């Protein structure tokens, strides 16, 4: 069990990963620009790297449309949706033990980040 926890922690412990998955959960399908705009503070280079990691792990799908300009959409996979259930439990634990940033009244972590709480 330790190995599995370590692997999941290594993936999710990377900055922006959880917020990217949360954004995809809320929007179902997003373009790269939409993800970049909704994940406040992430650079295009880092977002691209995190999306590649998530695709490699089977948590996110990438769809490329052969049009001009080239269009790319991202969506969360079933494996990613299953992982989001773990996030829900983490959120419940955090709320129960009041580990939410002081002053954050939103259910969306990006909203708190925009307000400067995270």
1-15 residue pLDDT tens: 678 788 778 878 888
pLDDT at 118 over 60: no
CATH number for position 72 = 1.10.10.10
pLDDT of 117 reads 44
For residue 54, the enclosing domain spans 2-115
The confidence score (pLDDT) of residue 15 equals 87
State the total domains in the chain: 1
Mean pLDDT for the stretch of residues 97-110: 65
Element (H, E) at 105: none
The predicted-structure confidence for 35-91, as pLDDT tens digits, reads as follows: 999 988 899 999 999 999 999 999 999 999 988 888 899 999 999 999 888 888 887
Helices (H), the chain: 2-12, 17-27, 32-38, 44-56, 78-96, 109-115
């Amino acid at each position: 069990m330790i190995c599995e926890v370590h692997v999941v922690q290594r993936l999710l412990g990377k900055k922006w990963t959880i917020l990217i998955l949360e954004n995809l959960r809320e929007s179902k399908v997003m373009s790269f620009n939409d993800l970049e705009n909704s994940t406040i503070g992430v650079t295009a280079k880092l977002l691209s790297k995190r999306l590649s990691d998530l695709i490699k792990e089977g948590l996110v799908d990438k769809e490329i449309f052969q049009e001009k300009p080239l269009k790319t959409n991202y969506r969360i996979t079933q494996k990613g949706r299953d992982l989001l259930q773990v996030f829900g439990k983490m959120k419940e634990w955090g709320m129960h033990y009041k580990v939410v940033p002081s002053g954050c009244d939103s259910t969306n972590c990006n909203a708190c980040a925009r307000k400067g709480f995270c």
